Amino acid sequence: MDLTSLFGPDYAVLLLAIACVASLRYLRSLLDWKARSQGLPLPPGPKPLPIVGNLFGLPKIKPWSGFQDMRKEHGDLVYLRVFGKGLLVIGSVEVAYEFLDKRSANTSDRPESPVIGLSGQESNFGLFPYSPWWRQHRREFWQFFHPGVISKYQPTQRTEVRKFLGRLLNSPSRFKSHIEHMSASAILKLVYGIDIVDEDDERIVIPHAALETTRRSTPASFAVDLFPILRHVPSWFPGAGFQKVFAECKVANDYLKHAPFDEAKEALERGDSRPCIVADMLARAKMNSTDSTDLSDEMEDMVKNVCATTVEASADTSLSTLQAIFVAMALYPAVQRKAQAALDAVVGPSRLPDFTNSAALPYIHAIVKEALRWCVVSPLGLAHRTLRDDVFHGCFVPAGTTVHANAWAMLHDPATYEHPDEFRPERFLRDGLRAPGPTTTALGADSIAFGFGRRLCPGRHFALESLFITVASVLHVFDIGLPLDADGAPIQVKFEQSHGAISYPEDCRCTVTPRSKAAEALILAAHE
């Protein structure tokens, strides 16, 4: 039985025509691919299945560890495909530096994702595509966070850290929420001039809530990225619970973009504004505007975006790294004692550490660097995307390839960091002085942890300053130990990082007690 007898002659001709067109298009795509790739192979990687590619071979939990296993088999470049989209995972510092830094003109884009719009992340300029609009945002941000200006934020950082010490003294078991309060309070005051007084102020948790989808985003973690049509599925539909998460994030992001800005702008118009970044940005924008009396919608939008992104970005880095340091001090008491001995020698018993002690406390800086290495805040980094076809290490890398630098693998490579699972600040000291670390490039752990190329976090200098003064202050007046059971016996905590694009220690339990009555008096005096 032939097609003509089944469907009639016209239908058979139509099917034949469709088959011919499909064959021609397939042949054309093969020829186009051959011309684009110049006959070169794709980077090595697991063999893909038809249509779905490597979807079922992607590591589902803590993918940085699974990609590290793939690196052992395939090398520093591991290429995977998911429904025809390319994913390149880089496993070494040297290769990441060569591809993402030296070729940054081609590797600084961000992947498109429906999740960004659904969760209200359109204002986060860290997720913007590589464009003049992104460069304008980053340039504006840099004006307020380059190394030459961040010292003016030290009074606020100092004040918020000392308030944190007081809260820690009063309720040490809540140290995680106290860290969140300190980070949010400091950045909201610096950016918007807002004073957070109430412990339950909703503005403390808004930055954390706004980043929920970012925290969950690992390769192919959201089905809507693979099937964009799912963005139209209502939240009540079975299996569409992700829509509720997106909606909650969108509310938080919309609030963060508009509410604090409007509050600061209204205070400025009343003449009741406190010195803050948003006031300086508005003044700069008006100075550069053709209309000195009012801002264009575009300029005001940029100010809102930069300010909201600043608050978001500061929240999770501090929270994750400081949690890791508390756990590390409980697990490695010798490190804690060494740090406290250095603080006692430099600062003395009658005052708290200050930024002026920074140069004389290399071991505190080494603890911060080791924490960034040991507990990598963003284990796979934020994804890059190639803009154009490229040839790298003899392989063809197509335009539109998503690129992840496996920062966790780089910072836990035993060839570079001996016993990488151990917390050893001495890795970052040479003859007792600060050193970038045992890498074969100019990039140290405190750089790798913040990204690569033109997407390197521009707020890293401020973050490192904040971490230094917090760690120095806490260790000067507190002892951190293992948690205790009901009988007062120590509970051995095992350090593990949580799953997600932004990662935290899974178990943060510890005890926090004043080192002495004199230390307690210092805290109380500073907190008054």
- What pLDDT, in 10s, does the model give residues 434-486? 665 554 444 567 789 999 999 999 999 999 999 999 999 999 999 999 999 99
Helix (H) or strand (E) holding 513: strand 511-514
The three-class DSSP label of residue 248 is helix
> What is 157-223 written as a DSSP string?
HHHHHHHHHHHHHH-GGGHHHHHHHHHHHHHHHHHH-PPP--TT-GGGTHHHHHTHHHHH--TT-SH
In the chain, pLDDT over 90 holds for what percent of residues?
68
| Residue 130, phi then psi, degrees to nearest 5 | -70, 110
Higher pLDDT, 314 or 164: 164
| Per-chain mean pLDDT for the chain | 88
CA-to-CA distance for 294 and 179, rounded, in angstroms?
A: 38
Q: What is the CA radius of gyration of the chain?
A: 26
Q: Which residue, among 14, 11, 43, 3, has the nearest Cα to 393 in the 3D structure?
A: 43
CA-to-CA distance for 145 and 133, rounded, in angstroms?
A: 19
Q: Which residue, among 132, 42, 81, 89, has the nearest Cα to 390 in the 3D structure?
A: 42
Q: Which residue, among 367, 361, 358, has the nearest Cα to 321 in the 3D structure?
A: 367
CA-to-CA distance for 277 and 305, rounded, in angstroms?
A: 13
Strands (E), 386-504: 390-392, 395-397, 402-405, 429-430, 433-434, 478-481
Residue 2: C-alpha distances to residues 6, 10, 190 (Å):
7, 13, 77
The string of pLDDT tens digits covering residues 237-285 is 777 777 888 888 889 899 999 999 999 998 888 887 788 999 999 888 7
CATH topology of domain 38-527: Cytochrome p450 (1.10.630)
The pLDDT-based confidence of 7 (bands split at 50, 70, 90) is very low
Q: Which residue, among 251, 253, 266, 267, has the nearest Cα to 308 in the 3D structure?
A: 253
> What is 65-108 written as a DSSP string?
HHHHHHHHHH-SEEEEEETTEEEEEE--HHHHIIIIITTHHHH-
- Residue 528 pLDDT: 64
The pLDDT-based confidence of 411 (bands split at 50, 70, 90) is very high
Domain locations in the chain as residue ranges: 38-527
In the chain, pLDDT over 70 holds for what percent of residues?
89
The pLDDT-based confidence of 6 (bands split at 50, 70, 90) is very low
- Residue 304 pLDDT: 96
Instruction: Indicate the pTM of the whole model.
Output: 0.90
- Residue 229 pLDDT: 83
The pLDDT-based confidence of 39 (bands split at 50, 70, 90) is confident
Helix (H) or strand (E) holding 385: strand 384-385
Provide the CB-side half-sphere exposure for 134 (13 A, CA). 15
Q: Is 249 annotated as a binding residue?
A: no
Q: How many CB atoms lie within 10 A of CB 111?
A: 18
